[in-house]
Amino acid sequence: MLETLGLTAAAGAVYQALLDHPGHGVDELAPSCGLTPGQVHDCLDELAQLMLVRASSEHPGQMRAVTPEIGLADMLARQEADLAARQAQLAASRAAVTRLVADRADTRATHGERLLGMDAIQTRLDLLGRSATTEVLGVHPGASQRPEDLAAGREGNATTIARGVTIKSLYQDATRNDPHATAYAQWLLSLGSEVRTAPVIPQRLVIIDRSQALVPIDPADTRKGALHVTEPGLVRALGELFDQAWATAVPLGATRTDDPETGLTDTERELLRLLGTGLTDDTASQRLGISSRTVKRHMASIMERLSATSRFEAGIKAAHNGWL
């Protein structure tokens, strides 16, 4: 159970044992946890680094477990702070990459080529998939995916994975409600691919072997065409953008738990942040891949929890409570 917080199974077992038997030392913990004394020492070091155990005042030379109400709550707070920092870095990287791509979109040079229309894009994707040797990274924003587009990439992806190439696909959380995208993602997982989702992700993007990438010419209509880039600096920036988004995403199949202190889901927290920057419901819904009606439903739920009669009041109370 504690593995979701970053603990190893062995460390979690030792922590539980210490909570149940505060006076036990290494010799008593080892047999009860099915570990050797050396492994228990390693687990205690791990727990100490996470500030889940402290030196016992009552039993000199032994460690005592920090109560979960304090130790685990502090762990969650540190993880939330790290996540917020990564999301801020992701937002800054997204803006920088968007500007960089926009500056180069009208330039066709040795390191960039414009592909017009879905046929040209699909043909290039097929060729790139055949040439991939290590990994294919994909970002697929939107609440749903076109079944015909998913079908078009199925054969190429199967062949690519069969050659030992890793495929990592990043979707929005809202896609979990799309049966076509979910079925396709489950199929990718069955072949050994990796799929994750997040409330907000970068624009549509495909990166091949960290050396080539396809980005849309018009992010508002990705079917118009794409820019195929091979310039190392740009491809590296796109790769780092993907890595940052991937690090904050959740594997498909895992459930996102509500914040234990606020009760907010990741989508609700991101919605508050977006609306707090002045975005309209329509713009926020596009960024999150959900409908404007869903945005209003989320906000109604948040206002009820805050006992707020208006969005303005909800914003003030959310900021006062540290929700933003």
Each residue of 99-118: pLDDT tens digit?
776 665 555 444 568 888 88
pLDDT score recorded for residue 321: 67
* Terminal alpha carbon distance of the chain: 28
pLDDT score, position 254: 52
The reported pLDDT for the residue numbered 250 is 81
pLDDT at 305 over 50: yes
282 shares a domain with 234: no
Average pLDDT along the chain? 79
Rounded Cα distance, 212 and 229, in Å: 6
Q: What is the CATH number of the domain that holds 289?
A: 1.10.10.10
pLDDT for 207 equals 93
Same domain, 85 and 211: yes
Residues making up the chain, counted from first to last: 324
User: What pLDDT score was predicted for residue 258?
Assistant: 47
The pLDDT of 83-104, averaged and rounded, is 74
Distance CA 239, CA 232 (A): 10
Largest CA distance in the chain: 74
The domain of 194 spans 75-251
The CATH number of residue 92's host domain is 3.30.870.10
d(CA 267, CA 299): 11
Nearest to 155 by CA among 186, 187, 133: 187
Together in a domain, 50 and 188: no
Residue 113 and residue 35 in one domain:
no
Which pLDDT does position 82 carry in this prediction? 76
Average pLDDT over residues 77-87: 77
Mark whether 55 and 188 lie in a shared domain: no
Cα–Cα distance between 190 and 161 in angstroms, integer? 11
Residues 25 and 153 in one domain: no
Residue 256 falls within a domain, yes or no? no
Q: Is the pTM of this model over 0.75?
A: no
HSE value, Cβ hemisphere, 13 Å, CA-based, for 107 = 10
Distance, CA of 15 to CA of 202 (rounded, Å) = 39
Residues of the chain above pLDDT 90, percent: 5
Annotate 75-101 with DSSP letters as a single string: HHHHHHHHHHHHHHHHHHHHHHHHHHH
Instruction: Please write the tens of the pLDDT for every residue from 241-288.
Output: 888 888 878 887 655 554 555 567 777 777 777 776 667 777 777 777
165: which 2 tokens? Answer: 């190439």
Q: How many folded domains does the chain comprise?
A: 3
Task: Among 147-161, 206-220, 276-290, name the one with the lowest average pLDDT.
Answer: 276-290
pLDDT beyond 50 at 79 = yes
Same domain, 232 and 84: yes
9: pLDDT confidence band, cut at 50, 70 and 90?
Answer: confident
Same domain, 143 and 216: yes
| Together in a domain, 280 and 172 | no
Please give the average per-residue pLDDT across 115-129, as a whole number.
86
* Per-residue pLDDT at 302: 75
| Residue 113 within a domain | yes
15 domain residue, yes or no? yes
